[in-house]
Amino acid sequence: METRTANETFRPPDWWEIPSHEGPDYYEALRRLHAMLRPATYFEIGSETGGSLILAGCASLAVDQAFRLNCNVAHDPRKLLGGPVELAFLDGMHNYEYLLRDFINTERVCRPESVIVLHDCLPTDAHVARREGGDQHLRAFSAHPEWWAGDVWKTAAILRRARPDLAMHAFGVPPTGLVLVTGLNPASYVLARDYDAHVAAFASSGPEVFREHVAALRPLGFAEFDAVVEGLARRAQ
């Protein structure tokens, strides 16, 4: 029987990839967001060891189903939730129906000028974007066999289609991109109302939908990051 390997030109039908993101990573992007936006409140879903949470210098609230903190991220609890969330980083469960719910619930406690940051929505290939972390059927074709972004890119695609009122700025920062969402409407109910339909519509979306998603998001490089965030900061004042 013929055996195919990753360095041959053969690619499975469900394969896709985009160029690896280059430049400073998402931690540096988050650091700059905090420095430029200077949010009074920060909310995070998915903290793990605290690598992103430690970057917040303001009153912060973090959610995780299994904290494994290895740094001191305790903030003054007296300051907690003294106002709406101004900056949020959503990096919890890596399946799109979870992130969509996280977005819906987070938007409700933001103000219009707040910024919600979505992690992992620009995965570099079909293996990195596999739905189940344990699924290894495309591993041999990936330049990043250890990475798992999950299929949360579908959440950004749903937001783009279902919420044209939102402003979305995508950045190809390593390893798997950041999408900044603003122009929020805490009173909006359309995502919650149509949640099941959105989840069903994207259940089997493959490479064509991903390509259309990336083309529509038009991700910028790190060089444009500061200018975009400064614009958001001016609007937030």
Asked if 144 and 127 touch (Cβ cutoff 8 Å), the reply is yes
Pairing of strands 59-63, 167-171: unpaired
Q: Which residue is nearest to ligand SAM (CB)?
A: 51
Asked if 226 and 34 touch (Cβ cutoff 8 Å), the reply is no
Decide: is 3 part of the binding site for ligand SAM (CB under 6 A).
no
Structure token pair of residue 120: 């992992």
Residue from the set 3, 65, 72, 237 that interacts with ligand SAM by CB under 6 A:
65
Site string for ligand SAM, 84-103 (x = CB under 6 A): -------xxx----x-----
Contacting ligand SAM within 25-64 (CB under 6 A): 45-48, 51-52, 63-64
**Residue 91 C-beta: closest distance to ligand SAM, Å:** 4
Asked if 44 and 52 touch (Cβ cutoff 8 Å), the reply is yes
Judged by beta carbon, residue 133 or residue 164, the one nearer ligand SAM is 133
* DSSP string over 66-98: S----S-----GGGTTSS-EEEEEE-S-SSHHH
Judged by beta carbon, residue 57 or residue 206, the one nearer ligand SAM is 57
In sequence order, which residues have a C-beta less than 8 Å from that of residue 80 and are 6 or more positions away? 59, 60, 61
Judged by beta carbon, residue 46 or residue 84, the one nearer ligand SAM is 46
**Residue 15 C-beta: closest distance to ligand SAM, Å:** 24
Residues in contact with ligand SAM by the rule CB under 6 A: 45-48, 51-52, 63-66, 91-93, 98
